[in-house]
Amino acid sequence: MQRPWSYLLVGLGCPKLGGWKNLQPDEPQHHLPSQTWTNSINQANKMALLAWTKETGIDLVQINGQRKYGGPPPGWEGDPPPSGTEVFIGKLPQDLYENVLIPLFQRVGRLYEFRLMLTFSGLNRGFAYARYSDQRGARRAIAAFHNFQLQQGCSIVVCKSTEKRELSLEGLGGWVSPGELEARLRELTQGVLSVTLHASPRQPRGQLAVLKYSSHRAAALAKKTLMEGNVRLGGLQVRVSWLNQDLKQKLQSSQKKPSSTRVQGDKLLGVPRPAPLSLLMHNVLENLNTLCQRQCLGTPLYLTKCVQANPNGWLQFWCQVVIPGCPAPFSGFTWVRQEGPGRRGHEKAKVAVALYVLQVLGGHQT
């Protein structure tokens, strides 16, 4: 039986989103007709919000279940604010909107961005995020508005945002390489900084990936995309969630060193870095040859073909290993990083497929 050992299948849904004004044409946005938004519940407060935006000229952009002001706001110059400038706002009355919240939080400092989470019915989801131009503004917001009563008997929570940037991706097969996974994630999401693979603590012979993003917002959008996208890898359903601290510590304390890829500085995908490249490649191929001889299967024959080359240096290869004693060849696709001229990409592809065949044949030894 032919084994598609590392073929990545992704089917993305396209949920219907609301929007007011398209400030970022590179992001998918769909504008809901105004009557759809205003004729359901909480109509009076929604109309007050519409009047406020018209009066102040403030632009609000709705995308991916949240409505955003700023990021950057009008007149902003320079880089975005550093870490530690965002606060989390919780326990909000669900019938309040930006016409109340933004003026309130602007009292203590200049807002760089304000994000209100929304339900499909048009109510807020009870929480929001406010990012200030500096850390002093964030500290003032916490001091002034934590336990502040927005309505009679309704005190809100304001605290420092954790600004999580790491996700865990579970359900990966043992054959998946970090380079292949990173290349696909960069196609689907924005802001990927690194992808690290670990042995799964819950899935025998499976892997868990830790995905690190450039910002909390990039990670949150990636999480939403991957959750709604029905992502499958090698025919397996994968699960995405925020990386919790317990799991992170467990992975860090693991004796097995994970293989890793980064946006810069890749050496050999799916193989630990310290050993020289040529030695690693020789060892992997030699180990497979030894295993085949031990099991009286014959000498492996490798076929590789480059089927796609990306401008960033990633190459996609179709690979096949024919082993005389096996009833069918092992074949599939993998991504490798091209470094310099020559056929080194083909050699890396051979190593990737050899690693997988080693795992399969090694797992069937008695």
* 84-131 pLDDT, tens digit each: 899 999 999 999 999 999 999 999 999 999 999 988 778 899 999 999
Angle at 47 (CA atoms; ends 43, 49), nearest 5 degrees: 120
Same domain, residue pair 239 and 255? yes
287 membership: H or E segment, kind and range: helix 277-294
Is residue 9, in this structure, part of any structural domain at all? no
335 membership: H or E segment, kind and range: strand 330-337
Q: What is the pTM of this model?
A: 0.50
Is residue 124, in this structure, part of any structural domain at all? yes
Question: How many domains does the chain contain in total?
Answer: 3
So what's the pLDDT on residue 270? 39
Per-position DSSP letters for 136-197, written without gaps between them? HHHHHHHHHHTT-EEETTEE-EEEE-----EEEEEEEETT--HHHHHHHHHHH-S-EEEEEE
Angle between helices 344-363 and 277-294 in degrees, nearest 10: 40
| Alpha-carbon span 111 to 279, nearest angstrom | 54
Range(s) of the domain holding residue 363:
270-366
Q: What stretches in the chain show pLDDT beneath 70? A: 1-40, 228-236, 254-282, 312, 339-343, 362-366
Show which of 137, 160, 183 is a domain's final residue: 160
So what's the pLDDT on residue 86? 93
* 202-233 pLDDT, tens digit each: 777 778 889 998 888 788 888 888 876 556 65
Is residue 292, in this structure, part of any structural domain at all? yes
Same domain, residue pair 132 and 61? yes
Angle at 364 (CA atoms; ends 358, 366), nearest 5 degrees: 120
Same domain, residue pair 234 and 250? yes
The answer to whether the beta carbons of residues 203 and 185 sit under 8 Å apart is no
Which of 126, 135, 147, 81 lies closest to 108, judged by CA? 135
Cα separation values, 54 from 49, 58, 122, Å: 9, 7, 19
